[in-house]
Amino acid sequence: MLKRNWWRWLIGLFVVIGICWPAYNWSRANITTLKTAGRTRMAPIIMIPGSSATQNRFDSLITELGKETPAKHSVLKLTVQTNGSIKYSGTINRNDNQPFIVIGFADNKDGKANIDKQAKWLNVAFKSLVKTYKFNHFQALGHSNGGLIWTLFLERYLKETPKVRVERFMSIASPYNMESTSTTAKTSMFKELYEYRTGLPESLTVYSIAGTENYTSDGTVPYNSVNYGKYIFQDQVKHFTEITVTGANTAHSDLPQNKQIVALIRQYLMAENVPNSIRKQNQQQLRR
C-alpha cells in the first residue's frame, strides 16, 4: 500500500513539474520582452574627445575595436561650430544597431568656460542625432575633458530629451578636479560637477578609468583628479566603478587605444561576449 502511494506521489510530482516548467520559461521570456519593450534597435556609442582634439581623435581606437569585434561598426563624425551649426562626415549603415558616433567641437580649447560651452554644444548635437536617427538609448565614452563634457551634459541637459536613456558611461583619464594634485582642495570645475550631481540618471552605470605611468599621473592628468569622480557619481548612479590601468602605453594621449582599455570597452561599454582570458583580466582591474 505504501509502495503504491509512493509511486502515485512521484507521478504527481512529475505532472506538476511538467505543467510548471513551461510556465516558468514563458514567464522569464515575458519579463525579458517587457524589459526591452519600446527600446529602439539602434543604441549608438557616442564618443567625445578631450580638449584640443578633433573628431578624428578616436580613429586608432575604432581601428583596434574593428580588429576584435565580431560585427563591423559604421562611423559618423560631427563637428559642432560655435554658432551651433553642425558639420557631418561618414554615415551610419542601415543595419548597424551599434554605430560609433564621434562629436568634436570647432572651439575645442581647454578651460572650465569652454567645457561649459562644449556641454551646451553637445546638447545641440545630441538633439539633432535623436531627431535624425530615432534612437532612445545609448552608451557614452569620453576621453580627458570629454568625460567632463559628458558629465555636465548628463547632469544638466539630457533631461531635455526625456525619452532617451543613457545606459553606460565610460570616462578615460577625465580630470574631475582639473590639474590639481590635491586630495583636499577643490577646483571650480569640480564644484560645478558636484553641485549638479543629483541630475545624473539614477539607472546609469559609470566606469572611470585612470592611467598611471608612475601611480600618481598619466603624464598629464593627476591620478587624484581622476579619483575625484567618485564624489560625483557614488550614491547618485546605479553603479560606479573605478579602474586603474598601468604598464605600457598608459601616457595620457595613448590611453584611448591602450590594449587593456580596448578590452574594457568591449566588455563593459559594448557588452560583448569577450574570451574568458580578457574577462578575467578586466575583473582584476576593477576597484569599486
**What is the per-residue burial (b if ≥16 Cβ within 10 Å, else e) of 208-220?**
bbbbbbeeebbeb
- Grid coordinates of 50: 578631450
Strands (E), the chain: 45-48, 75-80, 86-90, 100-105, 137-143, 165-172, 205-212, 239-246, 286-287
User: Tell me: the pLDDT tens digits for 23-42?
Assistant: 445 444 443 433 444 889 99
What superfamily does domain 42-287 belong to in CATH? Alpha/Beta hydrolase fold, catalytic domain (3.40.50.1820)
pLDDT at 18: 61
Determine the 3-state secondary structure of 143 from DSSP: strand
User: Tell me: the pLDDT tens digits for 178-219?
Assistant: 999 999 999 999 999 999 999 999 999 999 999 887 768 867
Cα end-to-end span (Å), the chain: 61
Q: Would you list the domain boundaries of the chain?
A: 42-287
Residues in the chain: 288
Percent of the chain with pLDDT over 70: 81
User: Tell me: the pLDDT tens digits for 56-108?
Assistant: 999 999 999 888 776 789 999 999 999 999 999 999 998 899 999 999 999 99
Distance CA 268, CA 118 (A): 26
